[in-house]
Structure 1
Amino acid sequence: MAYFSKHYHSPGTAPGTLIVRGAAAQPLSINLIDYTEAGVEEHQLDSPEQCRSFLEHDSRTWVQVNGEVNPDMLRNLGAVFNLHDLALEDVINTGQRPKVELYDNQVFIITTMPVYDGTRLELVQVSLFMGKNYLICLCPLAEDPFEPVRKRMRQTSNVRFATRGIDYLLYALLDLIVDAGFPVLEQFGDQLEDLEAELLERPSQQTLSSIHRLKRELLILRRVLWPQREVITTLMRGEDEFIHTETLVYFRDCHDHSIQIMELLESFRDMATSMLDIYLSSISQRTNETMRVLTIIATIFIPLTFIAGVYGMNFHNPASPWAMPELGWYYGYPMVWAIMISVTVTLVWFFKRRKWM
């Protein structure tokens, strides 16, 4: 993952300019759900213009756009729902910081949903527009992640969507986006456990690379999830006319989930940092153990080398009073070996007694 993933226009570009770089990566689909207390209607649309007839009904409308949007489609959607140009620009320029913008008779929200497959962390920008009786959700993923919410709406026993305003649907989508962080952090937690076991057994260069990658992903995740908590806090204040008092308790629950995610994230970041220290300590400990073994071996062979060196000089002259008499002894060679073995055994016993080996 790149350190800088935000799409942006060239400096000096007019505000509200809609430009897409490259071809669309995911196919585009528009799903509409129109619901009242009487029931739920689902429609597959070909263009945003088909939404106009539903806005005239006394119902609540959810427009779900999945895939990579193009400027023409986004302009048509903005014309139908009277969306602000700056908000449309933020939709098409992904990588925005999570935020809440209040426009005339409209609320614009940018959130980030983390998606993790075990090897690559993807941060998906989800853009939401909420009006008096409609909600527009734009998600660049081809597969709709909000199918669980749609499934709850289809259940006749679930009357909360039917009896409450469009703000409850906004809560349901935000709650799913926030809770998407739990399975991601669960996978990070499993990786931390594996790395911890690897650190205690046999750390390697690959272990260090995994720790650095994990720290980087946790840092990027924190950068987007921290302002997302501020988004929920802003909606809890009830400054917008579309957020009803009876729905604030659900937003408070969503806020609690965001706090739990941030606490887990901070704990995992601390664990990753401590693992780096453990890795360095482990490598240092392994180096010290290796040096200790080599030192013990060298210490044992120093007196043996001295003995072998002394008796290897071969100064043997029977006429000289300073000659080595041991060189002429019958048991001289076994005697030298006995001395060497005795020295080795004594040194090993001494090292073990001092717990150096």
Structure 2
Amino acid sequence: MLKRHFAPGASPATLVPHTEGEGAVKPRIHLLEYDANSFAEHEVTESADLLALIDAGKITWINIDGLGDIDALELLARKYGLHPLALEDVLNTGQRPKVEEFQDHLFIVAQMVYQDATECICGEQVSIFLGKNYVITVQEEPEYDVFNPVRERLRAGRGSIRKSKADYLAYALLDSIIDHYFPVLDELGRSIEDLEDQLLENPERSMVLKLHEHRRSLTQLRRYVWPLRDLVNGLLHDNSGQIKAPTKVFLRDCYDHTVQLMDFVESYKEITTGLMELYHSSVGLRTNEVMRVLTVITSIFIPLTFIVGVYGMNFSQEPPDNKTMPLNMPELYSPHGYIVVMGVMLVIAVAQLVFFRRKGWL
């Protein structure tokens, strides 16, 4: 979820392939072409072969996975007139979700969210070019994406996607990106609920670290979801003619989903804030319980310590020269002095316990 910057001062529209990180791989190019009656699918191994496979009479979806090479992007830019600044944003990952209008195409940036094999929440930029009969999508890396449901619908010819134009395909891809936020947030919500139960039963320091991880994930998701709503709203009010009226009806549903996502993110953020306060309150209550018990124990031993201290001074009533000293401690030579003192100490301790119990301090 880190943003990649070019060197400060670089000239506009500088295209620099990724040389490190997950995107620094040779791009995988996947070509889908279809109309109402036909469907074709190709894996393109060499960028130079791409243009020869494109059928101008069909709807074309070109998906590029990986940013380690810009040859395919440059070829497509020349063929479809893609703006150089849009190509720069494709390579400068971590862009804020947005939609930009150019002369004969729209450029859409969205953040795709998914969980990897370790159930870690990952974010990846998806760049979408929408033209009259084509959609070009560019992803950072080839291992994960959320477009398989759309591919399966195209292969099976289900629904109206094969009968619709390129703008409907762009909607379907954007809708798939938005819908895949929900299972990620559902899993995050379950984890937060489990943490809440654990905090109520036995708060531990490790839970605070987990809460901070969740808050960090929610903060990042909020950065993605808020501008995503504006993106869909921009498509709903598109005046370029690239988004047709029938597709805008479906985009309204997308807009509703982004509002729901915002509600989930904000609700979970409030819950995590409350859980953090709950943790501090639980720790404070446990500390108070411990301090109360220690205070009671200390209070019991204060008079006992006083008695022991007094009789531990060992003043003798009779000095070595047998001269009587009446003001010294006569109890030291009492035959039952030890038993009497222990009994007095026991009575004092029991009396204190009874008093504390009646006061509700125990």
1:115-169 per-position Cα deviation (integer Å, ceiling 9, x unaligned): 234664321000000100110111123134312111011224x240122211111
Q: CA deviation at 1:268?
A: 0.7
Residues 1:294 and 1:119: Cα distance change in structure 2 (over 3 Å): farther
The answer to whether 1:89 aligns with 2:88 is: yes
Q: 2:11 maps to which residue?
A: 14
The answer to whether 1:45 aligns with 2:44 is: yes
Q: 2:110 maps to which residue?
A: 111
Give the Cα separation in 2 of the matches to 1:48 and 1:27.
10
Unpaired runs of 5+ residues, structure 2, are 319-323
8 A Cα contact 2:135 2:170, kept in partner: yes
8 A Cα contact 1:126 1:138, kept in partner: yes
Q: Which amino acid aligns with 2:96?
A: R
Moved more, 204-213 or 166-175: 204-213
The answer to whether 1:351 aligns with 2:352 is: no
Give the Cα separation in 2 of the matches to 1:107 and 1:226.
20
Unpaired runs of 5+ residues, structure 1, are none
Q: How many matched pairs?
A: 353
- 1:24-35 alignment, distance < 5 Å: 24-35=23-34
SS at match of 2:314: coil
Between the two proteins, what is the percent identity of the paired residues?
A: 41
Give the Cα separation in 1 of the matches to 2:196 and 2:289.
21
8 A Cα contact 1:113 1:125, kept in partner: yes
8 A Cα contact 2:66 2:140, kept in partner: yes
Q: Which amino acid aligns with 1:140?
A: E
Q: CA deviation at 1:48?
A: 4.5
Q: Which amino acid aligns with 2:5?
A: Y
Give the Cα separation in 2 of the matches to 1:27 and 1:7.
18
SS at match of 2:215: helix
- 1:25-174 alignment, distance < 5 Å: 25-53=24-52, 57-117=56-116, 120-143=120-143, 144-156=145-157, 158-174=158-174
Q: 1:327 maps to which residue?
A: 332
Residues 1:315 and 1:203: Cα distance change in structure 2 (over 3 Å): same
Give the Cα separation in 2 of the matches to 1:100 and 1:134.
17
Residues 1:325 and 1:97: Cα distance change in structure 2 (over 3 Å): same
Residues 1:263 and 1:32: Cα distance change in structure 2 (over 3 Å): same
Q: 2:321 maps to which residue?
A: none
The alignment's C-alpha RMSD in Å is 1.9
Give the Cα separation in 2 of the matches to 1:57 and 1:86.
25
8 A Cα contact 2:153 2:159, kept in partner: no
Q: 1:339 maps to which residue?
A: 344
SS at match of 2:241: coil
SS at match of 1:129: strand
8 A Cα contact 1:69 1:92, kept in partner: no
Q: Which amino acid aligns with 2:64?
A: V
Q: CA deviation at 1:271?
A: 1.1
8 A Cα contact 2:26 2:69, kept in partner: no
Q: CA deviation at 1:110?
A: 0.3
Q: CA deviation at 1:100?
A: 0.4
8 A Cα contact 2:18 2:67, kept in partner: no
Residues 1:287 and 1:214: Cα distance change in structure 2 (over 3 Å): same
